[in-house]
């Protein structure tokens, strides 16, 4: 019995001290030293601080005081096992015990050992069952926690795989990067497809490095930002100013990426507003574990930007893609009159087609905005480099700069159609506005380049340089053995976009 009850502590509320002593002797036989109260008030407050395993209450004291026993917090919460003691003269009060879920009644008698042992067994069994239930609940709680962690880990893995997939979507689009006429266009195309991005904005440094500009982009997710004047080139202070402007326009949930191209300082600043809820219906970016690696994406985009710049604006050393106007005129006459040279070259036997490109619309824009400085040298270098990159597919193709707005290209017949499409697309999509000191004033201007196939004669090429809209009727002569083939063609001007 002592093993069963050694963790018991018993509190008694007894009016009769002699009977309380008799009951205490029985409890002590089984190793329990009960605490005895003779007044209701101290009993009420005493068990609040240290709830007992069992409370034995004299029913004659239940009605004392202004605090009803059934209103006691431990009684109301079902946390206090109770039993009642009564004498025969208090039998009428037994009906009041019907309001309680108690463990029995102890009647005043000569020997209390048998009824108390029975009471302690009932209480002990109940407490043992409660302990077993709590143990099972604890084990169940642990398993539920393990299951929750497993589900959470699985969800994290799924989201990380999604983030990795989205990053791979950037990496696998190298062909689109090579063919993009403008890096911002390539960037915007990816941001539009990325489901995590709600809105985005871009800043670029102007050529004068005295202004941050937002490029003209057509996208429902794009937020144009106001231009910012800067006192010097890229700097941390300037980047903080740009981030503050983006914060005001896009809101606090903002990711900032600085794209560094072939140069030391960032050339493009990207601001992303991330969606609060992904398709899984939870706040994806409240926890860093659910985020893609923004530094990794920033480094990748910087690398893509550097590659694009190098592909489109860098010509290998000793490149022969540019020739003098005299060379192209001589080649045109060779096509017209035939090759009279006795020296064989790489160009011998190659049939050339000539493409003329006129961008004199730019002259109208420059004169319309005389106060807006145009960076001629940078424009000439970049525009020519872009055309030379288009011609990189064939060693025999080359370009000649015939004037500030005129370009003549000699293209082998085998590569004509592809080159024609790429040159026309380049001329139409080239960012001419970037080469003005205040580019935002040029966004609305019309871009109308003229691309034409030209007849194979120096006369036709010179006429195009003087008047790009000239209508041509040419005679082309090609040697076939000892005979001359005469070919007449009408060349209509390419329609301006």
Tens digits of residue pLDDT in 354-409: 999 999 999 999 999 999 999 999 899 889 988 988 888 777 899 999 999 999 99
Dist. CA 352–CA 251, nearest whole Å: 57
Dist. CA 467–CA 405, nearest whole Å: 12
Q: pLDDT tens digits for 235-265?
A: 777 788 888 888 888 888 788 888 886 655 6
Dist. CA 23–CA 34, nearest whole Å: 9
Q: What 3 state SS string does 452-472 have?
A: EEECCCHHHHHHHHHCCCCCE
Q: pLDDT tens digits for 196-229?
A: 788 899 888 776 657 788 888 888 888 888 888 7
Residue 414 burial (CB < 10 Å; 0-12/13-18/19+)?
middle
- For 77, which DSSP code? T
Per the CB < 8 A criterion, the answer to whether 400 and 327 are in contact is: yes
Could you tell me which residues come within 8 angstroms of residue 383 by beta carbon, excluding any fewer than 6 positions away? 430
Dist. CA 204–CA 305, nearest whole Å: 12
pLDDT at residue 303 greater than cutoff 70: yes
Residue 430, classed as helix, strand or coil, is coil
Per the CB < 8 A criterion, the answer to whether 296 and 342 are in contact is: no
- Extended beta strands in 17-145, E state: 35-37, 54-58, 82-86, 105-107
CA atoms within 13 A on the CB side of 417: 1
Terminal CA-to-CA distance of the chain, rounded, Å?
Answer: 104
- For 277, which DSSP code? B
Does 173 or 479 have the greater pLDDT score?
173
Dist. CA 301–CA 314, nearest whole Å: 19
- Lowest mean per-residue pLDDT among 94-98, 186-190, 413-417, 490-494: 490-494
Question: Which candidate, 6, 46, 38, places its Cα nearest to that of 21?
Answer: 38
Residue 412, classed as helix, strand or coil, is strand
Q: What is the pLDDT of residue 166?
A: 59
- Extended beta strands in 383-464, E state: 398-401, 406-412, 450-454
pTM listed for this prediction: 0.53
Dist. CA 435–CA 381, nearest whole Å: 11
CA atoms within 13 A on the CB side of 272: 20
Domains of the chain: 10-131 (3.40.50.2300), 176-282+290-313 (3.30.450), 325-341+348-466 (3.30.70)
Order of strands across the sheet that contains 10-13? 35-37, 10-13, 54-58, 82-86, 105-107
- Average pLDDT value for the chain: 79
């Amino acid at each position: 019995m002592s093993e069963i009850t050694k963790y018991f502590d018993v509190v008694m509320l007894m009016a009769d001290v002699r009977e309380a002593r008799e009951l205490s002797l029985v409890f002590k036989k089984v190793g329990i030293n009960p605490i005895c109260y003779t007044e209701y008030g101290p009993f009420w407050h005493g068990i609040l601080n240290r709830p007992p395993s069992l409370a034995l209450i004299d029913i004659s004291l239940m009605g004392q005081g202004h605090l009803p026993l059934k209103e006691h917090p431990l009684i109301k919460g079902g946390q206090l096992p109770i039993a009642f003691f009564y004498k025969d003269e208090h039998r009428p009060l037994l009906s009041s015990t019907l309001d309680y879920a108690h463990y029995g009644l102890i009647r005043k008698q000569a020997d209390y050992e048998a009824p108390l042992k029975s009471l302690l067994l009932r209480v002990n069994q109940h407490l043992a069952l409660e302990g077993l239930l709590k143990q099972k609940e604890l084990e169940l709680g642990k398993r539920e926690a393990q299951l929750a962690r497993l589900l959470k880990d699985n969800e994290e893995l799924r989201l990380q795989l999604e983030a990795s997939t989205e990053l791979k979507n950037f990496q696998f689009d190298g062909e689109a990067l090579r063919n993009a006429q403008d890096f911002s266009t390539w960037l915007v195309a990816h941001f539009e497809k990325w489901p995590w991005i709600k809105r985005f904005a871009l800043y670029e440094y102007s050529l004068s490095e005295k202004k941050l500009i937002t490029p003209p982009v057509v996208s429902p997710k794009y937020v144009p930002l106001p231009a910012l004047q800067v006192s010097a080139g890229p700097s941390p202070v300037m980047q903080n100013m740009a981030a503050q402007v983006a914060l005001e326009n896009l809101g606090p949930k903002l990711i900032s990426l600085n794209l560094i191209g072939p140069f030391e300082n960032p050339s493009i600043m990207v601001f992303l507003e991330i969606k609060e809820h992904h398709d899984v219906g939870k706040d994806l970016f409240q926890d860093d574990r659910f985020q893609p690696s923004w530094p990794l994406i920033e480094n990748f985009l910087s690398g893509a930007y550097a590659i694009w710049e190098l592909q489109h604006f860098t010509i290998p050393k000793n490149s022969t893609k540019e020739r003098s106007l005299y060379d192209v005129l001589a080649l045109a006459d060779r096509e017209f009159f035939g090759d009279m040279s006795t020296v064989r070259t790489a160009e011998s036997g190659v049939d050339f087609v000539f493409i003329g490109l006129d961008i004199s619309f730019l002259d109208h824009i420059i004169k319309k905005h005389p106060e807006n400085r145009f960076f001629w040298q940078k424009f000439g270098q970049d525009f020519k480099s872009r055309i030379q990159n288009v011609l990189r597919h064939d060693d025999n193709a080359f370009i000649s700069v015939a004037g500030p707005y005129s370009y003549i290209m000699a293209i082998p017949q085998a590569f004509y159609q592809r080159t024609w499409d790429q040159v026309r697309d380049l001329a139409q999509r080239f960012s001419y506005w970037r080469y003005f000191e205040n580019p935002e004033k040029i966004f609305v201007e019309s871009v109308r380049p003229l691309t034409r196939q030209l007849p194979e004669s120096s006369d036709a090429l010179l006429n195009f340089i003087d008047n790009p809209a000239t209508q041509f009727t040419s005679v082309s002569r090609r040697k076939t053995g000892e005979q001359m083939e005469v070919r007449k063609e009408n060349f209509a001007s390419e329609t301006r976009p």
